[in-house]
Structure 1
Amino acid sequence: MLKQMEGSMAVAEAVALARPEVICAYPITPQTHIVEGLGEMVKSGQLENCEYINVESEFAALSVGIGSSAAGARTYTATASQGILFMAEAVYNASGMGLPIVMTVGNRAIGAPINIWNDQTDSMSMRDAGWIQLFCETNQEAVDVHIQAFKIAEKLSVPVMVCMDGFILTHAYERIDMPEQAQIDQFLPPFNPRQVLDPANPVSMGAMVGPEAFTEVRYLAHRRQMDALELIPQVAQEYAEIVGRDSGGLISTYKAEDAETLVISLGSVIGTIKDVIDQRREEGEKIGCVAIRSFRPFPIAEIRKACANAKRIVVLEKCFAVGMGGMVASNVRMALSTQPVPVYNVIAGLGGRPITQTSLHNLFNEAAADKLEGLHFLDLNQEVVERELERQRLDECSGSVAENILRDIGAVAASKV
């Protein structure tokens, strides 16, 4: 059914179609509308046989989710930014215990300085916590991938994080083709937990494990992620056969077959990249892109295959590890370690900074001429940076970097020079 709706409400309806039995909710921008929408559906009776639990923190939200999943209930929650940091211990516990929870991350920058706008630092901070991480380009993908996430999680007994760009997707109104309940019931069977707390058959879950067995337990967690490399495309194909739409999977490509310059990215920026590629293709340039849909597990074989004929790779990402560089680029370089192709790392869109077509054209011009440095910050104001560095060199008590930068660019009134 075609609807014009906000991304968050579309995700709420998609989650409801999966018939969750427990929803653990704590509000944090920009995911709040998702759990609000689900709360309204539970209260009205539209979503039946579901317990909606308001909690006092993000840590509590996932902790309650761990308990409900262990008790055999299909469980969902959502978070963003500082919220995922607050629940970090529970994030590791959920995956370590092999509990198939589905959680939306409405991607948002992490402070300090305080920033509520979009980048992907939050979910990337948990990239090695043992969760499957699926990234969405559009709200339609977000609808479809959330439904697929429940099946992936429950088949493997692994939690799944569905990542969608905050505000850019969560608050955008778009046309959505919402599946019918009968289609989803055909696609997603009732939850049959691999492990469950049962008073009639008591077991321990989350037991202490010493050196004699810890390596094997962690290895088996890795094996489940490797199994996901086969399962994720299979589930996407099953979904396409029922719903009639291609979404999900490990990667997607766009005009990549003969591309000499190949751009790799993830999330909503792929749409802008495609527009720029179309413009440059009209001028005869061989350029294409690869969208990473599954960041964990990382699709090494698919990346290698997609990049086999490229002369250069540009990895554009909305996050980076301070002191090292791009996290996505590091994984791409590892995947292409046997291929003699330069990989340029571009950091863009931090804290919600717009990634414009003009900036991308300038970037791709430099890339085509092989003039990019290994680590490049798109639209970095070098003059402002140098001014702050000089301030620090001259004054040991130079003050807060964040406030100094805001004064330099005129965003706040100057009170110190």
Structure 2
Amino acid sequence: MHNPEGGRPNGIRPAILQGLRHVRQGMPEGSDHHTKEGGEAVRSIKALTGNQAVAYGVKLCRVEVIPNYPITPQTIIIEQLADFINDGDLDADFIPADSEHSAMSIAIGASATGVRTFTATASHGLALMHEMLYVPPQVRLPIVLANVNRSLGAGSGIWVEYNDSMAERDSGWMQVYVEDNQEVLDMLLQCYRIAEDPRAVLPIMICLDGFILSHTVERVEIPGQEEVDNFLPKFKPLNFLDPKNPKSMNIAVSPAHSMEMRYQLDRLMENSRQVIKDVDKEFAKAFGRSYGGLIDTYRMKDAEIGLITIGTATSTGRVAVDELRAEGKKVGLIKLRFMRPFPHDELREATKGLKALGVFDRSISANRYGPVFTEVRNSLYGGGMPIIDHIAGIGGRDLTVAALREMFAVLEKRASGHKTKDCYWHGLRGQM
């Protein structure tokens, strides 16, 4: 939390920072030049992992409270933030919790006092937060949470799968899935701007692929602190606990009022659609990069066959599209960025005129289809276009260009009038 008297407040930080190892992955010795008040004065280029990109974004946003509990593959985010605080580059309260449930509880308490709050987790950690995740949307707390996607449940490993965040898609949090490390950092800046907009005021979860992004080094442009401050003004909470104006939050609500609360939440989620689009345009003006808002499209202008991807699969999908285009195939790609709010209207517009549509899922519902497919099919119901689910990359299995080409081959067969299944698993070992 900012100290109005200047300097660093006494208390918990020296104790909790003791023993944390210094993380500088992907950066040559001496390459990390900071100003002491929040970050770089001008734009710079660094080689960063996805986790480091999250931490740099948090620093640029001048976050004030960071409750945390470590879990692979998220831990480096927290370690990097601890380094920033220890080095004097970030003035924030770093609060270690005894569990992820407690970390989210602390985040709720901090945000309720009117300060910019951040936390991060993954997999079983997000599942342990489940009870508390339903609180911030209902009481309008614009917390930003970075979830490093990882498989969940018995027999799971530590590699990427989307079941952890997909299980929370009905909690009232906005959810955005990113493709690369530049988008990781850029969306951290956008997430606070979106979440704190008076038209929305909802928490937001930024989801990045475990290891594929979290531990992979990529070139990232880091904006200057002054231009970030111009884009993201100081947080002005609309609703917070104030001793001079006492109020209660998160109290029991009778049936006479609870339904209206849920309706208001639904309306705020609807409002956030326009907020997301507006913020993307403003970000493009300020920094020269646009991500399309709720969705992005690639070579869809004259496409007859389309494939919806999410997360890092989009990069692989672009390569497959380019190869097939070179062979004369009229194929295109739609990048699903936001799972909540779900882009119903945008998908209907983007898929007009297609002969067949595929949906990539990196999670399962144990009910034949993946969750993204179910959402897409609901949105496009009545359009008459064949839609096929393609489940792949489960448990961190490699998703290759060849696998994406297989998906397009199935869609081409269906578009030609041949019979196909409506759900395929790609990359299974042996005869399943």
TM-score scaled by structure 1? 0.90
- Matched residue type, 1:138: D
Secondary structure at the counterpart of residue 95 of structure 2: strand
Which residue is equivalent to 2:51? 8
Which residue is equivalent to 1:121? 163
Which residue is equivalent to 1:72? 114
Which residue is equivalent to 1:106? 148
Secondary structure at the counterpart of residue 428 of structure 2: coil
Which residue is equivalent to 1:363? 407
1:347 matched to 2:391? The reply is yes
Cα RMSD over matched residues?
Answer: 1.1
- List alignment gaps of at least 5 residues for structure 2: 1-43
- Same amino acid, percent of matched pairs: 40
Q: Displacement of 1:327 after TM fit?
A: 0.8
Q: Displacement of 1:94 after TM fit?
A: 1.7
Instruction: Render the CA deviation track for 1:264-321: whole Å, top value 9, x for unaligned.
Output: 0110010001001100000000000000111100011100000001110000110121
Secondary structure at the counterpart of residue 87 of structure 1: helix
Contact 2:392 2:426 in 1 (8 A): yes
Instruction: Render the CA deviation track for 1:208-258: whole Å, top value 9, x for unaligned.
Output: 111111111001001000001100010011111111111361100000111
Which residue is equivalent to 2:348? 304
Contact 1:232 1:248 in 2 (8 A): no
Secondary structure at the counterpart of residue 39 of structure 1: helix
CA distance in 2 between counterparts of 1:328 and 1:279 reads 25
Q: How does 1:28-47 map to 2 (within 5 A)?
A: 28-47=71-90
Which residue is equivalent to 1:166? 210
CA distance in 2 between counterparts of 1:60 and 1:39 reads 19
Q: Displacement of 1:44 after TM fit?
A: 1.2
CA distance in 2 between counterparts of 1:150 and 1:40 reads 22
Q: How does 1:129-148 map to 2 (within 5 A)?
A: 129-148=171-190
Which residue is equivalent to 1:214? 258
Q: Displacement of 1:379 after TM fit?
A: 2.0
Contact 2:181 2:218 in 1 (8 A): yes
Which residue is equivalent to 2:62? 19
Which residue is equivalent to 1:259? 303
CA distance in 1 between counterparts of 2:166 and 2:430 reads 26
Secondary structure at the counterpart of residue 255 of structure 2: coil
CA distance in 2 between counterparts of 1:324 and 1:208 reads 38
- Matched residue type, 2:280: A
1:52 matched to 2:94? The reply is yes
Instruction: Render the CA deviation track for 1:306-360: whole Å, top value 9, x for unaligned.
Output: 0001110000110121124111111111111131100101111110011111222
Count the aligned residue pairs. Answer: 383
Secondary structure at the counterpart of residue 19 of structure 1: coil
1:225 matched to 2:269? The reply is yes
CA distance in 2 between counterparts of 1:114 and 1:335 reads 31
- List alignment gaps of at least 5 residues for structure 1: 386-417
Contact 1:141 1:248 in 2 (8 A): no
Which of 257, 276, 301 is 2:320 aligned to? 276
Q: Which runs of 4+ in 1 moved over 4 A?
A: none
Secondary structure at the counterpart of residue 46 of structure 1: coil
CA distance in 2 between counterparts of 1:326 and 1:143 reads 28
CA distance in 1 between counterparts of 2:110 and 2:49 reads 29
1:379 matched to 2:427? The reply is yes
Distance 1:13 1:365, change over 3 A: same
Moved more, 361-370 or 169-178: 361-370
CA distance in 2 between counterparts of 1:289 and 1:249 reads 15
CA distance in 2 between counterparts of 1:363 and 1:231 reads 34
More helix by share: 1
Q: Displacement of 1:366 after TM fit?
A: 2.1
Which of 148, 151, 168 is 2:193 aligned to? 151
Instruction: Render the CA deviation track for 1:19-64: whole Å, top value 9, x for unaligned.
Output: 001011111111111111011101111012x111111110111100
